[in-house]
Amino acid sequence: MTTTLVLASASPFRRALLQNAGLAFQARAAEVDERALEQPLEAAGASPVDVALALAEAKAKDVARHFDSALVIGSDQTMSLGSRVYHKPKDMAEAADHLLSLSAKTHSLNSAVVLVRDGEVVWRHVSSAHMTVRPLSRGFIERHLARVGEKALASVGAYQLEGEGIQLFEKIEGDYFTILGLPMLPLLSKLRDLGSIDA
């Protein structure tokens, strides 16, 4: 049985991960208001892992409405330090505040992936990576942000690990795909179990 795979995302990074793995799939952006979904969850004390799962599920279910019997892949990532959940910085001042708050601490990237078929959740999974930022001075943060520019506003942590952001870290525990926002190894394993890709 051939399964139609659909990625519920407009992210070029997630699309590239699936393409590089040799998967045949369609992609469609989910039309969900992430902040409207997050706020009541956070107010109710949901963990960053629960928030990531809820967002991934909402995206997959939204896109699944448009594809009968397709297997829809929804994913989302939260970044947390203790109970604080971070969001993309609005401006460079907020990016600097983010980095200062992460200095000399270990934060988590929680990457959720959910499979939905015909509106029903088939599988859900979260992988977390633990990222230890070295001690950063305010002066270094300002110089770093001046070099990387607006790219700092494109990610929740105000850094890109694949670029100069790597200079912020002293230790990383977790796999590359989790850090990028789509836990590929568990996802591929489940797709093989379901007979959706060649095993």
CATH number of 189's domain: 3.90.950.10
Q: Tell me if 122 is assigned to some domain.
A: yes
Q: Give the pTM.
A: 0.90
Q: Tell me if 156 is assigned to some domain.
A: yes
Catalytic residue among 33, 76, 97, 198: 76
Q: Tell me if 199 is assigned to some domain.
A: no
Q: Tell me if 141 is assigned to some domain.
A: yes
Name the H helices within 88-175.
92-102, 138-148
Q: Tell me if 198 is assigned to some domain.
A: no
Number of domains in the chain: 1
Strand partners, 81: 84
Q: Tell me if 62 is assigned to some domain.
A: yes
Rounded-to-integer distance, Cα 120 and Cα 99, Å? 39
Tens of pLDDT along the chain (199 residues) come to 467 999 999 888 899 999 999 999 999 999 999 889 988 998 898 999 999 999 999 999 999 999 999 999 999 999 999 888 898 899 999 999 999 999 999 999 999 999 999 999 999 999 999 999 999 999 999 999 999 999 999 888 999 888 899 999 999 999 999 998 999 999 999 999 999 999 8
Tell me, yes or no, if 76 is annotated catalytic: yes
Q: Tell me if 97 is assigned to some domain.
A: yes
Give the domain extent around 167.
5-193
Q: Tell me if 168 is assigned to some domain.
A: yes
Q: How far, in Å, are 92, 146, 157, 196 from residue 160 at the CA level?
A: 15, 14, 8, 32
